[in-house]
């Protein structure tokens, strides 16, 4: 891992990394991982060690890199959604150019392009990456295990209604499901519908009900 | 680079199976969709994935497919769709259709 952590994972990394999963190699940081390292994991470790040996990076920079990645939490996305709910002009900017709009919060997508899609009374958007696990890390942090699972990736494009129902979300027949397969240089963020009962709430109150899964589209915000 | 496409244009995804690192999933190969939007130009990840520089850049589009066009016995409404990010070299432009499909997006 390089010292430049402002970007979402590069595609090369994301894909090479996740292809390793496809061949049965667990995530190098997974706590339950007691198996011997796989080919890509060994390559990553070897490159890291060589770069440290050649004084191109330091072990501390590598550690800080993971610390930075782990510091990216879904709360970053929630504040963006809350602003979009309360400020129509901001929402218009967000839908037109996600990268430009999230710069208001000091968030930088790096090389990827943030594409924001909005749920309406007739459309529910759902995000997946069938190829690996492309995810808008800069705004949502690291993807949940279910998002990376082969079952979700394979099934949600074929039977999205069944998959979201298993996750507790029943989509009425008159609402279209729009699945977005994130395979290239775009990353997706869903603006869920603002629920009734939140009139007059401020951005912080609103952000509190915008959970991670709402921004992937497999859940909708709830008012307690 | 190919001629730019616009929202609403009908396209067929190439029904080919080249070796190497490819970003176009099998489930849309050979299928017909509609350009939802043009997304700009990006270094070609299918080249980057093999250590090349990804040049020349390729135009990227979001292509919208009707679920019922992709899967037999799809269980869901006729409005259900999948939007897929596809690079220009996978797209074969089709003549406009008067039935209205080309007017979506």
Mean pLDDT by 10 residues, chain A (224 residues): 37 40 46 81 95 96 91 94 98 97 94 95 97 92 93 96 96 96 93 97 97 97 91
Tens of pLDDT along B79-90? 999 999 999 999
Closest to A163 in 3D by CA, of B29, B75, B49, B16? B75
Q: What is the ipTM of this complex?
A: 0.90
Q: Does B42 touch chain A (CB under 8 A)?
A: yes
By CA distance, what is A177's nearest residue in B?
Answer: B80
CB contact under 8 A, B81 and A173: no
What is the pLDDT averaged over residues B6-18? Answer: 96
Give pTM, 2 decimals.
Answer: 0.83
Chain A partners of B42 at a C-beta cutoff of 8 Å?
184-185
CB contact under 8 A, B83 and A158: no
Closest to B82 in 3D by CA, of B96, B92, B94, B67? B67
pLDDT at A30: 55
Query: How distant is the alpha carbon of residue A198 from its chain centre?
Result: 26
List the beta strands (DSSP E) in A59-120: 113-118
Q: Which residue has the tokens 């990006």?
A: B42
List the beta strands (DSSP E) in B10-80: 10-13, 32-42, 58-66
Q: Which residues is B60 bridged to in the sheet?
A: B40, B87
Chain A partners of B62 at a C-beta cutoff of 8 Å?
115, 186
Kindly tell me the sign of the dihedral angle through the C-alpha atoms of A115, A116, A120, A126.
Answer: positive
The per-residue pLDDT of chain B, averaged, comes to: 90
Closest to A6 in 3D by CA, of A91, A99, A90? A99
pLDDT at A184: 83
Contact present, A195 and A222 (Cβ < 8 Å): yes
Closest to A157 in 3D by CA, of A128, A183, A135? A128
> Which tokens belong to A148?
């990376």
Choose among B25, B49, B82: nearest Cβ to A15: B49
Chain A partners of B48 at a C-beta cutoff of 8 Å?
11-12
Q: Which residue has the tokens 């709360």?
A: A75
Whole-angstrom Cα distance, residue A201 to residue A155? 37
To the nearest whole Å, the CA of A11 is away from the closest chain B CA by 7
Q: Does A43 touch chain B (CB under 8 A)?
A: no
DSSP A195: P
Whole-angstrom Cα distance, residue A115 to residue A97? 7
Q: Is residue A77 exposed (0-12), middle (13-18) or buried (19+ Cβ within 10 Å)?
A: buried
Q: Which residues is A116 bridged to in the sheet?
A: A189
Report the SS3 class of residue B94: coil
Kindly tell me the sign of the dihedral angle through the C-alpha atoms of A138, A98, B49, B17.
Answer: positive
């Amino acid at each position: 891992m390089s010292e430049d952590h402002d970007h979402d994972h590069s595609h090369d990394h994301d894909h090479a990394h996740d292809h390793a999963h496809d061949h049965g190699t667990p995530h190098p940081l997974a706590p339950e991982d007691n198996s011997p390292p796989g080919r890509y994991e060994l390559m990553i470790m070897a490159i890291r060690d060589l770069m440290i040996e050649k004084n191109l990076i330091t072990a501390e920079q590598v550690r800080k890199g993971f610390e930075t990645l782990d510091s990216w939490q879904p709360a970053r996305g929630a504040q963006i959604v809350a602003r979009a709910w309360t400020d129509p002009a901001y929402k218009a900017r967000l839908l037109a150019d996600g990268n430009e709009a999230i710069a208001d919060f000091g968030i930088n997508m790096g090389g990827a392009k943030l594409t924001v899609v909005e749920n309406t009374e007739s459309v529910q958007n759902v995000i997946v990456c069938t190829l690996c696990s492309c995810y808008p890390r800069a705004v949502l942090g690291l993807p949940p295990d279910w998002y990376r699972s082969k079952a979700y990736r394979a099934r949600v494009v074929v039977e999205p209604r069944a998959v979201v129902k298993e996750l507790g979300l029943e989509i009425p027949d008159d609402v279209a499901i729009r699945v977005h397969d994130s395979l290239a240089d775009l990353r997706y963020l869903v603006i869920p519908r603002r629920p009734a009962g939140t009139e007059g709430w401020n951005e912080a109150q609103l952000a509190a009900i915008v959970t991670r899964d709402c921004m992937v589209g497999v859940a909708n915000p709830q008012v307690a | 680079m190919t001629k730019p496409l616009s929202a609403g244009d009908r396209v067929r995804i190439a029904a080919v199976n080249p070796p190497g690192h490819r970003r176009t999933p099998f489930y849309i190969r050979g299928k017909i969709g509609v350009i939802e939007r043009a997304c700009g130009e990006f270094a070609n990840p299918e080249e980057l994935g093999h250590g090349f520089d990804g040049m020349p850049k390729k135009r990227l589009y979001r292509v919208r497919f009707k679920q019922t066009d992709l899967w037999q016995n799809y269980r869901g409404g006729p409005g259900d769709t999948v939007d897929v990010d596809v690079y220009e070299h996978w797209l074969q432009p089709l003549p406009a259709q008067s039935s209205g499909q080309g007017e979506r997006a």
